[in-house]
Amino acid sequence: MRPTSILNPLRRELDLPAPSTEPRALHRRLPGYEPTPLRDVPAVAERLGVGRVLVKDEAWRLGLPAFKMLGASWATYRALVDRLGHDPGPWATVADLARLLAPVRPVTLATATDGNHGRAVARMAALLGLEARIRVPRGTVAARIEAIEAEGAEVSVSDGGYDDAVRESAAAADDRTLVISDTSWEGYEAVPGWVIDGYSTIFAEIDEQLAGQGLPTPTAVVVPMGVGALAAAVVSHHRGPGAPQVTLVGVEPTVAACILESARAGELVALEGEQGSIMAGLNCGTPSPLAWPRVSGGFDWLVAVDDDQARDAMRDLAAAGIVSGESGAASLAGATQLRADTGDDVLGPGSTVLLLSTEGATDPVAYREIVGRGVARSAR
């Protein structure tokens, strides 16, 4: 597929409840919690040809270089409490929580990942004194595998792509293995639903930051899409009760545009073969069935970009002082492609565009090769 933008033919009105505040209450008790920055970047706005560009910078979230800890932590907590069978009672620290959850042991957390989600699940396992087994697709770069192993997890490599790794991880579920997946399948929806709920913290922070910094409400929000979990959280926030009107734009790699192709087909479809974009966190061939109704109904525009566009976006963000990895920079690449395809019609000179940069330099070697410099320790 060539880079392209399409108006979502499945867009419709949705009846959604207000997002829960419970996930953020948990996140605030995790070690190192603080809101990630919301950055106003005039140079990127000028280059894009819009009035303002704001970047929610998830280069460092709860000690990890991506936003995924928000979903993984809440889903792990809910899944363990479900296994416990009752509310664990009040707790102030993760050490307290680990003691209260001791009756569920022994239990191993398992998942499939392109890197960031698996590392977040492994971190939660380590914090709670549990084991973790993480399955990654063939071709996952060494830096991402080593980062997961550094959390104390056992990592195994699939003989196939991401969808194969998901199936293999799902098959590992048993009385002592709890799968914490961010995508769903038949009979498995509660945990990925909790992952989506966990991402609500990002948008609660943004609302507070917009008000606190005196920034205008965005007219467009641009987000990278993999299986659709984060995208579903975007819809829950921006299409919920009382939410202001905003244009939602989802971005995928041209070789892994499973949501765009599903929208074209009018139903959920799976791409053939393996997906091999440098936007590793977006290399998904099948949308999450749980996320699909919200994503297909809530997004206005769907955009596919290629790897060169992601590289250009990484460099533009780096020039503005923002460390954004290949998947994180997809939002700027998508906004640039949409601007090229539609002119001033969607993202014009009066637009305030919010970009979600969902990760930092998760592959430091590739980041240095693309951007021309490494990541300073202060940026970690």
What are the backbone dihedrals phi and psi of residue 18, each rounded to the nearest 5 degrees, phi first? -70, 140
d(CA 29, CA 88) in angstroms, rounded, equals 15
Check if 56 is active-site. Answer: no
Residue whose pair of structure tokens reads 């992952």 in the numeric block: 195
**Positive or negative: CA dihedral 358, 200, 23, 226:** negative
Q: Which of 114, 182, 197, 306 is catalytic?
A: 114
Q: Is the dihedral of CA 320, 218, 228, 9 positive or negative?
A: negative
Contact by Cβ (8 Å): 236, 243: no
Q: Which position has the token pair 């637009």?
A: 351
Q: How many CB atoms lie within 10 A of CB 67?
A: 29
CA 179 from centre of chain: 18
The one catalytic residue among 68, 163, 182, 316? 68
Residue whose structure tokens are 């933008």: 5
Catalytic residues: 68, 114
